[in-house]
Each structure stands twice: as C-alpha cells, then as structure tokens.
Amino acid sequence: MTYGVNELRAMVEHDRVHRRVYTDPEIFEIEMERIFNRVWTYVGHESQVKKPGDYWTVQIGRQPMIMTRHDDGQVHVLYNRCPHRGNLLIGDRHGSVDKSIICSYHAWQFNCDGSPKAIPLAKGYDGTTLELGGPACHVKRAPRVANYRGFVFASLADSGPSLLDWLGDAKIAFDQMCDRAPDGEVEVVPICFRVVQQSNWKFFLDNQLDVAHAVVTHESTGRAATDVQDEVKGREGSAPFDYHFLSAFTMPLGTWDKMTTVNHPGGHSILEGYMRLRPQDPVSLDYEAAMKRRYGEARTNQILDTNIHHVICYPGLSIQPPLQQLRAIRPLAVDKTLTELWHFRLKGASDAIYRRALGYYNMVNSPSTMVNADDLWNFRKSHEGLASDGGEWVNYQRYLGQDEEQGRVLRTRMGTSEAPLRNYFTAWTDYMTAGN
C-alpha cells in the first residue's frame, strides 16, 4: 500500500490511532523521511568532545554521523563517510584522533571540521574534474547544527525552525538541568547504557509520561524497595532518601491523578513533579547551601521550586532534569529501536549529590534493573499485540475533553490523562502530512 496524505491523516483520529502506525514498515520509512530527516535531533553534549580531535559517532535518522571538536574549539557534526569511495571514516563509538581523521581505506586525511588535509597520490587526479581541496574533497557536514547550554543538536534539513523555536517551552528541560548546578553547567558522565528494544520507537515515548502504568508495571519493584526501606528504617531509625525513588511506585493508583502534564505544540510535553522537590536530609541541605552561595536565596528558591519531573522533546528525546538523566531514541526499523541513556553531573555540586543521582540512573537503567526490564517487556508485548488481528485501533480516550486549554497549550486536570499521547499524534500527523 502507498500512503497519501489522506490515508495518513485517517490513521489518527482525535481519540484513537490505527495499529498500522506502529507496525507498518512503509509508514516507518515515511517517518524516517518526513520526521527524523527534518527535525532537530540530539547528537550529544559538548563535554563528550572536550578537546580537539575528540569524537563520538551517532545515528541521525538513517545517517551515520560524527560529532567532533576542531582545532578552533568549535563542535561540528559530519557525515561519517569518506568523500573518496564512501568508506565510514570512524568505526569506533568514540575516541580521539591525533592530528587528523584518516580513512582506513586509502588514507585520505581530514581536519575535524571536515576540510581535507592530505590526499595521497594527488597527481593521479591531474586532468580530472576533481578539484583538490574543493567541495568534493570535504566531508559533508550536517546542514544545520546548534548548541543550547552545551547540548548539541543537528538537523538533516537545509531549512526549518531554529533550535530554540523548535524546542519552544520544552527548552526548560535544559535550563532546569543546568541551573540546578551551582556552577551553571553540567558535564556528561561517560557511561552510556545502550538498549535495543524489539518494538517500534513510539512505544518508548508513549510510556514516558504515562503515570498510570507505574504502579502496575513497577509494582514489584516498588514493593521490594519499600520492604528494604522499612527494614533499614526499623534497624537504624531512618532510611536513605534514595529508596524513595523506587518505593514511590507503591503509591495508590488514584494518587497519580493528582499530577499534571502540560502539553505544548510540536508534541513536546511536560510532567510536573511527583517526588519531593526539596528533601531536608543533610546531603540536600548542603547542596542547597552551595546553590544559595552561587545564586542567592531568591534565585535558588526559584530554580529548586520549579515543579518539573520529566520533559519530552518530540519525537526523540526524554529528559528528567531533577535527576540529570537524558534518553535519546534512535529508530532502527519498524520493530527495532536503540535507546541511549545518559547521565550528567552538576558542576559545583558535592560528590554525595552526584552519587545519589547516579544511583537512580543505575537503579532505573542498568542491565540489572527491574524497572527498565519491565518496560522493555511491555514494549515488545505491545508491538506483538498490535501486529495481530485482534483489533484495528489503539484507544487514547482516558480523560478526553477534561483538560484545560489555553492557546495551544493543554494542561491536564488528571495526571493519568492520555493527553500527552494525543499530543504526540497531533504532531505526528502534522509532520507526516506537511508540504505533501
């Protein structure tokens, strides 16, 4: 089947989505062209390439790319392809080159901004149309690259909204993460969990702000954490704050309705906080004192009282600013998705604050965690269920029509509203049918 604009629009209704949106390889290919080849894609953090010659490889849509730092200190995003015979220039995930990027096939050499540095057997091109040093000898650059507060994005489209226009109000995810650092900056922790899920990329996004699933899917994790928390408290009089990260999953299902999601144009959505924003344990109080020395009391209160737990930058980014965690989605096939899970350190904060946040990162994302394993199992079962003939539509009606709309922003009255999912698919339809 070939999908025209009308057929694509018919896939999404105001309260439901057709199952083929998740399972049809043809629709996936259209998504690669019309969404992931056009939007701003998160490439990495500038602290991943601290010095000239450092590089990280990444995938944008279907394209292999390299993030590099040039001699002038600028960060560039290049296609991972030699302009000579098309060989991948970098085969490793990350590393550093001494003086230049050298193609392992014929030793063409390039600077870290993509410009040619040396071409062996140059006389062999005398009398040909190849202009040595000309555009045909440059490594192709991503058409657009932008950096916001150290977070590097690239777009494969020559034109479109600027990064800040595209982010809109979702930029608060990066502001919050950086502002929570006493020094106003974060740096990447060079340990990335990379998970390949056997399911469509949209299942991951659908799950992120779906607070109704937490007490069901993660109930066993919450109970185990609560048991340990109670045992430690009974033995020592108090338990470390860290256990609350997981024991919170045992909250009654109705309690999650007290939360709020705020849904913005472009599919971006925000879950406001459900954990204690400003705990009063000694580690937290020491951190707040450092923040006040840097920002003053009024600004510190403004930063730490901002009620944000989770931000989705549609279509491929999930950020939890209070926990310094970022997850980037890299679709591989209609039924295969790579998720990269990153953690960041608050510059100027104590080691104890760093260890606490790193503990959460490991408890939720590491290969041994129960949390991520339960989610991945649900994603795969969801994909296999929608691939069956058991029904044609996916229902997104919970609390439909009960949200508050101001302008183009939708604020939910009930935390378990499926408004974020409806918001995603509004954006999906806009992207899939724009200009066609």
CATH number at residue 106: 2.102.10.10
pLDDT at 97: 95
Buried b / exposed e over 392-423, threshold 16 CB at 10 Å, is: eebebebeeeebeeeeeebbbebbbbbbbbbb
Number of structural domains in the chain: 2
Is there a domain that residue 427 lies in?
yes
Looking at the structure, do residues 120 and 241 belong to the same domain, yes or no? no
**377 domain-assigned:** yes
Is residue 135 located within the same domain as residue 205? no
Together in a domain, 244 and 341 = yes
pLDDT attached to residue 280:
83
Tell me whether residue 14 is in a domain.
Answer: no
Residues of the domain holding 60: 41-148
Q: Are residues 201 and 258 in the same domain?
A: yes
Both 200 and 264 in one domain: the answer is yes
Q: What's 406's domain CATH number?
A: 3.90.380.10
Same-domain status, 337 and 369: yes
> Is residue 159 a part of any domain in this protein?
no
Give me the pLDDT at residue 14, please: 93
* 24 in any annotated domain: no
* 279, burial (CB in 10 Å: exposed 0-12, middle 13-18, buried 19+): middle
Alpha helices in 101-196 (DSSP H): 163-167, 172-179
| Residue 234 is assigned to a structural domain of this protein | yes
pLDDT in tens, the chain (436 residues): 789 999 999 999 999 999 999 999 999 999 999 999 999 999 999 999 999 999 999 999 999 999 999 999 999 999 999 999 999 999 999 999 988 999 999 999 999 999 999 999 999 999 999 999 899 999 999 999 999 999 999 999 999 999 999 999 999 999 999 999 999 999 999 889 999 999 999 999 999 998 888 878 888 877 887 888 888 888 888 777 777 777 777 777 777 788 899 999 999 999 987 655 678 888 899 999 999 999 999 999 999 999 899 999 999 999 999 999 999 999 999 999 999 999 999 999 999 999 988 988 888 888 888 888 899 899 999 999 999 999 999 999 999 999 998 888 999 998 889 999 999 999 999 999 997 6
Please indicate, yes or no, if residue 349 is contained in any of the structural domains: yes
Domain end (from 115, 148, 181): 148
pLDDT at residue 22, as a whole number: 98
Is residue 47 in a domain?
yes
pLDDT at 274: 60
Same domain as 343, residue 298: yes
Pair (244, 197) in one structural domain: yes
